[in-house]
Amino acid sequence: MPKRVYNFCPGPCTLPYEVLEETQSELVNYKDTGMSIIEHSHRGKHYDEVHCEVVDLVRELLAVPDEFTILLIQGGATLQFAMSAMNLLTPDDKAGFVNSGHWAKLAMKDAKVYANVYTAWDGSAENFSRSPKAEEIELESDTSYLHVTTNETIGGVRLFEWPDIGVPLVADMSSDYLSRPIPWELINVAYGGAQKNIGPSGVALVIVRKSVLETKPRELPSYLDYRRQHESGSRFNTPAVFPIYVAGKVLKYYKEHGGVEEFAKIARIKSGHVYDAIDASDGFYDCPVQGESRSFMNVVFRMPSDKLQSDFQEQAESVGLVNLGGHRSVGGLRASIYNSMPMEGAETLANFMSEFRAANSK
């Protein structure tokens, strides 16, 4: 086996070794066609199979009901900040936002271009250390939807309770897609970039309730119109063939390893190893996120000094634990432990943390 490290990068993230190996082995000659899948026509039978399999696997793994269409769109989650608003809201409509941190703020900023948006719950006063309970969210009258970020990748904050408060949700699930079941009865749109829990970057998985396609709030350029994407099976133009193809292998791997319920359980255990190392450290490691809101995907923590933090990162890297730096906007440390991070990676990190503390605390 070639050199592999435990890669705790928040995105693009580590992928299953088996997937990378299979991708490599097929790359030059796909299914004995004498060409690569990335050289095949996106309208041909081979790519069609790849594309449909991804859609089918998403439907199965996330138990997506027939009332929803599953779209694969370029532009990442970032394009969906705007696209969800422009497709769901007229300029006079209103959407509420749960301000849970960095990504929620960006989603709100772009939605504001197309409609009226307001903050329905604001985590800023508590330094984004938790997510809200449903009863804390304050909706204005005539709200079309509530936007939530189910996992704040930078702050390490998980939306632990899906708000069931009488308006549909639009959910940015970029960093915890396929790591938790989705209560579809509450959802109008779920979206996320692929590169955190689904595959390589270059495509977003966008799941839209078909009934919202029936109203057309404004004229839209074809690519940006969910209706057009739906009618064309996300193949209105050339799709992101390579990321979609690799995503299919990741999804198959998830299916073979027990599906979303199983990955939800494993995520709790893996992140639990790291939280245990933090909580047993007498304050040497400190996680700013409160109890239930602690992310199962991105474990954020700090140490008493910048010097210790840089020593930690350097020594971790020397033993193959890489990309543990916090986001440049907040500093500190962050271990991103997505579905494809093996259990052993989380255990190795937790052990390293205990050893580092023993060696560096007085």
Q: Which residues are catalytic?
A: 103, 172, 196
CA-based R_g, the chain, Å = 21
d(CA 336, CA 324): 8
Q: Applying CB under 6 A, does 153 fall inside the site for ligand PLP?
A: yes
Angle between helices 241-256 and 17-26 (to 10 degrees): 130
For residue 135, which amino acid is it?
A: E
Binding mask 76-115 for ligand PLP (x = CB under 6 A): xxx------------------------x------------
| Least gap, CB of 128 to ligand PLP (angstroms) | 13
Extract the runs of DSSP E, i.e. beta strands, from the chain: 6-7, 68-73, 94-99, 116-122, 143-149, 151-152, 157-158, 169-172, 187-193, 204-209, 298-301, 321-322, 333-336
Choice between 153 and 188, CB closer to ligand PLP: 153
Choice between 78 and 90, CB closer to ligand PLP: 78
| Least gap, CB of 206 to ligand PLP (angstroms) | 11
| Least gap, CB of 230 to ligand PLP (angstroms) | 21
Q: Could you identify the residue written with the tokens 């693009």?
A: 12
Single residue of 149, 188, 197, 339 touching ligand PLP by CB under 6 A: 149
Rounded to a whole number, what is the distance in angstroms from the first to the last CA of the chain? 40
Instruction: Give the range of 28-36, 75-83, 279-287, 344-352 binding ligand PLP by CB under 6 A.
Output: 75-83
Extract the runs of DSSP E, i.e. beta strands, from 282-340: 298-301, 321-322, 333-336
Choice between 40 and 196, CB closer to ligand PLP: 196
d(CA 345, CA 299): 14
Structure tokens, 346: 């989380």
| Least gap, CB of 244 to ligand PLP (angstroms) | 14
| Least gap, CB of 44 to ligand PLP (angstroms) | 27
Instruction: Give the range of 70-78, 114-122, 159-167, 226-234 binding ligand PLP by CB under 6 A.
Output: 70-78
Size of the site for ligand PLP (CB under 6 A): 12
Q: Could you identify the residue written with the tokens 């990068």?
A: 9
Least Cα distance to 73 among 273, 278, 237 occurs for 237
CA distances from 158 to 149, 155, 162, 182, 348 (A): 8, 9, 10, 14, 24
Structure tokens, 165: 């408060």
| Least gap, CB of 315 to ligand PLP (angstroms) | 27
Contact of 143 with 167, CB cutoff 8 Å: yes
Choice between 84 and 144, CB closer to ligand PLP: 84
Choice between 103 and 352, CB closer to ligand PLP: 103
Single residue of 72, 172, 243, 249 touching ligand PLP by CB under 6 A: 172
Q: What is the DSSP letter of 71?
A: E
Single residue of 116, 174, 336, 340 touching ligand PLP by CB under 6 A: 174
Least Cα distance to 158 among 199, 98, 200, 106 occurs for 98
Choice between 288 and 353, CB closer to ligand PLP: 288
| Least gap, CB of 307 to ligand PLP (angstroms) | 29
Choice between 110 and 312, CB closer to ligand PLP: 110
DSSP per-residue codes, 88-106: H--TT-EEEEEE-SHHHHH
Single residue of 16, 156, 193, 199 touching ligand PLP by CB under 6 A: 193
Binding-site ranges for ligand PLP (CB under 6 A): 11, 76-78, 103, 149, 153, 172, 174-175, 193, 196
